[in-house]
Structure 1
Amino acid sequence: MEEKMWDIIIIGAGPIGLNCALEAEKEGLSYLIIEKGTIVNSLYNYPLYMQFFSTADKLEISQIPFITTSTKPGRQDALEYYQGIARQKNVNIKLYEEVLKITKSENFFIETSKGKYEAKNVVIATGFYDFPVLLNVKGENLPKVLHYYKEAYPFANQKVVVVGSSNSAVDAALETYRKGADVTMIIRNSEFSKSVKYWVKPDIENRIKEGSIKAYFNSQIVEITENSVIFKDENEANLEIENDFVLAMTGYLPNFEFLKNAGIQLQDNNLKPIYSDETMESNIPNLYLAGVVCGGKDTHLWFIENSRIHAKIIVGDIISKQKIATSV
Structure 2
Amino acid sequence: MEILDILIIGGGPIGLNCALEARKNNLTYLIIEKGTIVNSLYHYPLYMRFFSTAEKLEIDGIPFISTAPKPGRQEALEYYQGIARQKEININLYEKVLKVSKTGDVFDIETSKTAYKAKNVIISTGFYDIPNLMNIPGENLPKVKHYYTEPYPYAKQKVVVVGSSNSAVDAALETYRKGADVTMIIRHSEISKSVKYWVKPDIENRIAEGSIKAHFNSEIMEITENSVIFKDKNGQVNEIENDFVLAMTGYLPDFEFLKNSGLELQGDCLNPMYAPETMETNVPNLYLAGVVCGGKDTHLWFIENSRIHAQMIVQNILSKQY
Tell me which interval the TM-score lies in, with the shorter structure as reference length: over 0.9
**1:236-315 superposed matches below 5 A:** 236-315=235-314
Match of 2:67 in 1: 69
CA distance in 1, matches of 2:248, 2:100: 32
CA distance in 2, matches of 1:292, 1:149: 20
Match of 2:3 in 1: 5
CA distance in 1, matches of 2:203, 2:270: 32
Match of 1:85 in 2: 83
Q: CA deviation at 1:5?
A: 1.2
Work out which of the residue numbers 38, 49, 52 in structure 2 matches 1:51.
Answer: 49
Match of 1:32 in 2: 30
**1:1-328 superposed matches below 5 A:** 3-106=1-104, 107-323=106-322
Tell me the amino acid that sits aligned with residue 53 of structure 2.
T
CA distance in 2, matches of 1:270, 1:151: 30
CA distance in 1, matches of 2:207, 2:267: 38
Can you list the C-alpha shifts for 1:234-257, whole angstroms capped at 9, x where unaligned?
Answer: 011011110000000000000000
Name the SS of the counterpart of 1:322 in structure 2: coil
Identity %: 77
CA distance in 2, matches of 1:217, 1:58: 34
Name the SS of the counterpart of 2:309 in structure 1: helix
Q: CA deviation at 1:210?
A: 1.0
Name the SS of the counterpart of 2:320 in structure 1: helix
Can you list the C-alpha shifts for 1:132-173, whole angstroms capped at 9, x where unaligned?
Answer: 111111111111101000100000000000000100000000
Q: CA deviation at 1:4?
A: 1.4
CA distance in 1, matches of 2:219, 2:285: 43
CA distance in 1, matches of 2:263, 2:130: 19
Q: CA deviation at 1:321?
A: 0.6
Tell me the amino acid that sits aligned with residue 241 of structure 1.
I
CA distance in 2, matches of 1:111, 1:230: 44
Name the SS of the counterpart of 2:272 in structure 1: coil
CA distance in 1, matches of 2:268, 2:138: 28
CA RMSD of aligned residues (A): 0.5
CA distance in 2, matches of 1:21, 1:191: 41
Name the SS of the counterpart of 1:306 in structure 2: helix
CA distance in 2, matches of 1:226, 1:203: 31
CA distance in 2, matches of 1:281, 1:180: 50
Q: CA deviation at 1:268?
A: 3.1
Name the SS of the counterpart of 2:266 in structure 1: coil
Can you list the C-alpha shifts for 1:262-307, whole angstroms capped at 9, x where unaligned?
Answer: 0001003210001000110000000000000000000000000000
Q: CA deviation at 1:193?
A: 1.1
CA distance in 2, matches of 1:194, 1:53: 13
CA distance in 1, matches of 2:84, 2:68: 22
Moved over 3 A (4+): none
Q: CA deviation at 1:56?
A: 0.3
Can you list the C-alpha shifts for 1:164-212, whole angstroms capped at 9, x where unaligned?
Answer: 0100000000000000000000000001111100000011011111111
Name the SS of the counterpart of 2:153 in structure 1: helix
Name the SS of the counterpart of 2:228 in structure 1: strand
Give 5+ residue unaligned stretches, structure 2.
none
Match of 1:326 in 2: none
CA distance in 1, matches of 2:86, 2:193: 38
CA distance in 2, matches of 1:131, 1:55: 27
Give 5+ residue unaligned stretches, structure 1.
324-328
